[in-house]
Structure 1
Amino acid sequence: MSDTPLLSLVIAVYNGEKFLSAFFESIKNQHLNSVELIVVDDGSTDRSAEIIGRYASEFARFRVVTQENQGVSVARNSGLALANGEYLAFPDIDDVIYPGMYNRLLEIATQNRLDVATCNGTYIYDDGRPAKKIFPSDRLASTGVIDGPTWLQMALDSRKFLHVTWLNIYRHDFIKRQGFTFEPGLRHQDIPWTTEVLLTAERVQYIDEALYDYLIHSASVSHTPGTDDTRMRSARHYMKILELLNAINERYPEQVKRVPACHWQIAKEGLGILHSINNIENPDKKREITRELFERGIWEMIWRNARGFKQRWRLGRRYFRLKKIYKAS
């Protein structure tokens, strides 16, 4: 057995006892010849550690890291620092990975010397709605080998792109050379990660093959009505995301010239912030987050990056209402 595995799976776990057995079985069913599992138990308080221990002997390379709960980004960074594989993947434990997924991605990655290999997946709803592809085939078709900026522009232009790590594998040397890590403490950290990875990747390929089921639970936090406090937290997370995206755009000006949708996506995510603010019912909390929007320079950033009449119209019609709230604070 070679000292260097072909693939490292970096697996963040927090209270995953409901999913871990099925997840590890799905990895066994991949029938990978050269894989390393790095399981980061991020302070679980349920039976996760027991289940992880039960599977440790079923894989040739299986490493467990136990740490205090610090969130998925820190867990991934802990695993990333220990990874030895030629390629990296960051699967979520509560989804379904088809048996051939990683072998298929490794096939195109090794044949074509890819920095990033990516596939399609399927949205699976637990409330009876029919399943559907994550990336509709009429919006995003399979590609040959292209550079990352080209793929990012195509993907964002589709208006159906999902910034996720779990549909991809990454060449480890590329990630290491760029020094990429995940932003600690940030929800939806995949947005800045994916953007920067693709802006700098030289060889990328997408295959329109649905090899992953993304399970959408109707009772999950992200799909149930929020409170004022959750809306404020969401707004602040996305303000941080916008600051990160803006910094990325400034770091790679030549690439961004080729990907004008990098500006569009800042305004698009910014409109989500405005929607959260609009739904806050408590006047004091609404004033507080609106003041932050203007004083952190987030509004100016959103407006500066808006592209096209539709985005500017949607922003403009909200401006005077927000400014009135801000002046009253």
Structure 2
Amino acid sequence: MTPEISVIVPVYNLADSVARTLEALRAQTIFEQLEILLIDDGSSDASGAICQSYAQADPAFRYIYQENQGVSAARNKGLSLAKGKFIAFCDADDLPQPELYQALLEGIGTTADIAVVDFTNVYGQRRVKKNGAYQACLNQDQALQAFLSGHYLENVLVNKLFRRSVIGELTLPLGISIGEDMAFLYDVLLRAKEVVVDTRFSYYDYLYRDQSAMNQSFSPAYFQPVALSQAMLEKTPDALKPYAEAHLIHEVCKALTHLLLKKAKATYPENYRDLRRQLRAYSVKDLWRYNSRKRFVTTVLLTYAQPLYLFLYRRLRP
């Protein structure tokens, strides 16, 4: 029998958490309608053995091994093997709630191309629901506008269900370590005719395992989302280009924030100057018109009151 939903789970050296995630998948209220593709991306710990044990015990789990190529390649392998009418993604160190795929399947119905629910960021004992309560059925332009301006359509895949036909031959970009979800999701949204959003309830726990990440050294990979956002701008329909420009400025802000927090400005002076130039050249009026209020405040502070921005960021971040 063809499964309704193929859930693609990339796994790499997560022996301490993958079983918990697989148990959460097995506890899904519509588990009998799922196939769960466990893509072992060359793990060197016990992750592979754990995944194999689940696949041997239950045919709903399928174990696939590949040499280490990165999370995007693992997800692409899952896309190439998926048999379901719908596609979902799950990270092997997170916790999907039991009703996740039932809620997404009910949301997508018979006409929508993508369904979206809310998720919760979990920082140790602290839980932060991402969005307020919001329900909408969006056409293509509305969905692109919501995504680009930061309203209820975040750069994550795990809280969404995709109709397989809208993905088609699309794959995640390789060679990208930050921003690959964003690029893939945008390409899918350019094809989607209807997107259903319901953020009244959170059905996915996104677990932050390393809360000291902001203290680690800066990587040039933090510049990748800026380049990806520039590429997105170039293929955005003309009527929505102001929103794409606002999105690019948002990614500039994120890259600049990492540069400053990790004290890498002196190491990448040309990049720093270029990011600052882009910020200062952007119209405050457009910033207000085409961005969420949170993004507006962030950009204004980072552009004109950098010390205050960094102080608030350090105080308010989880």
Cα distance in 2 between the residues matched to 1:267 and 1:175: 27
Residue ranges of structure 1 left out of the alignment (5+ in a row): 319-329
CA 1:67/1:249 → structure 2, altered by over 3 Å: closer, same or farther?
A: same
Q: Which residue of structure 1 aligns with residue 113 of structure 2?
A: 115
CA 1:305/1:239 → structure 2, altered by over 3 Å: closer, same or farther?
A: farther
Cα distance in 1 between the residues matched to 2:279 and 2:6: 38
Cα distance in 2 between the residues matched to 1:263 and 1:196: 17
2:156 aligned with 1:164, yes or no? Answer: yes
**2:258 aligns with one of 276, 298, 304:** 276
Shift of 1:206: 0.8
Q: What secondary structure sits across from 1:37 in the alignment?
A: strand
Q: Deviations over 1:152-179 (max 9, x none)?
A: 43355456753110000111111015x2
Q: Deviations over 1:269-296 (max 9, x none)?
A: 2122223333455xxx6445222466xx
Cα distance in 1 between the residues matched to 2:128 and 2:262: 32
Q: Which residue of structure 2 aligns with residue 104 of structure 1?
A: 103
TM-score of the pair, normalised by structure 1:
0.78
8 Å Cα contact 1:149-1:200 kept in structure 2:
no
CA 1:135/1:148 → structure 2, altered by over 3 Å: closer, same or farther?
A: farther
Residue ranges of structure 2 left out of the alignment (5+ in a row): 289-295, 307-318
Shift of 1:258: 3.3
Number of residue pairs matched by the alignment: 293
Percent identity, aligned pairs only, is 26
Cα distance in 1 between the residues matched to 2:269 and 2:151: 28
Q: What secondary structure sits across from 2:215 in the alignment?
A: coil
Shift of 1:80: 1.2
CA 1:162/1:251 → structure 2, altered by over 3 Å: closer, same or farther?
A: closer
2:135 aligned with 1:134, yes or no? Answer: no
Cα distance in 1 between the residues matched to 2:90 and 2:281: 35
8 Å Cα contact 1:277-1:290 kept in structure 2:
no
Q: Deviations over 1:31-88 (max 9, x none)?
A: 3233222211111111111111110133334332212222211111121122121110
1:54-73 paired onto structure 2 within 5 Å = 54-73=53-72
Cα distance in 2 between the residues matched to 1:226 and 1:123: 19
CA 1:196/1:293 → structure 2, altered by over 3 Å: closer, same or farther?
A: farther
Q: Which residue of structure 1 aligns with residue 222 of structure 2?
A: 238
CA 1:215/1:167 → structure 2, altered by over 3 Å: closer, same or farther?
A: same
TM-score of the pair, normalised by structure 2:
0.81
